[in-house]
Amino acid sequence: MLHVIDHPLIQHKLTIMRDKDTGAKDFRELLVEISRLLGYEVTRSLPLRDVEIETPLTRMTGKAIAGKTLAIVPILRAGLGMVDGLLSLVPTAKVGHIGLYRDHETHKPVEYYCKLPDDIQSRFIIVTDPMLATGGSAADAVRMLKDKGCADIRLMCLVAAPEGVKAFHEEHPDVPVFTAALDERLNENAYIVPGLGDAGDRIFGTY
């Protein structure tokens, strides 16, 4: 299932990020802010339990997050830019890392690193990657998690292409995708159009 989160604040900040004249510092800060806003929607289905507490006036039954705790798994390197926004919502979340890069000739993902929490299979997992272009990297990352016994997975991105969403859901129809925008298409170099360029380069100032 695809969820396009078109909140006015998200769209405003995303427009600034798309602008080619926006520098790395502002780009990074805006990515954190949008990730925090997207995080509210991605975590909407977290289960709750009743807890008994005492306010300054009386006892009451409140709500607290129940059961599964959160794990954030960024796809390196660009996915790192979305982690702090989610950690500001759930500071106790554990963070794993999956290293994939796109071969510039074949446009296929290549794995080079994987480090995950020992209890990852019991956690509510959010995979982060700003750009869902071909869908290959995201699909490979989720496959790696499923191979380790993970089941409760969501993918959070900033901008998606229709081709990437289709390819991802052909392999993982059970994993919801949350994005701030669904763009027009991929170009001949597998970049999202209109997009915002190479997110990793813009985050780290390596363009």
Task: Tell me if residue 123 is catalytic.
Answer: no
C-alpha of 83 from chain center:
8
26, 84, 152, 198: the active-site residue? 198
Task: Tell me if residue 102 is catalytic.
Answer: yes
26, 84, 152, 201: the active-site residue? 201
Task: Tell me if residue 201 is catalytic.
Answer: yes
194 upstream amide cis, omega within 30 of 0? yes
Q: Which of 68, 161, 162, 81 minimizes the C-alpha distance to 128?
A: 81
Residue 15 three-state SS: helix
106, 119, 174, 206: the active-site residue? 106
Contact call for residues 36 and 85 (beta carbons, < 8 A): yes
For residue 204, how many C-alpha atoms fall within 13 Å in the half-sphere facing its CB? 10
102, 123, 154, 202: the active-site residue? 102
Give residue 123's region: left, alpha or beta (phi > 0; psi -120 to 50).
Answer: beta
Residues marked as catalytic: 102, 106, 198, 201
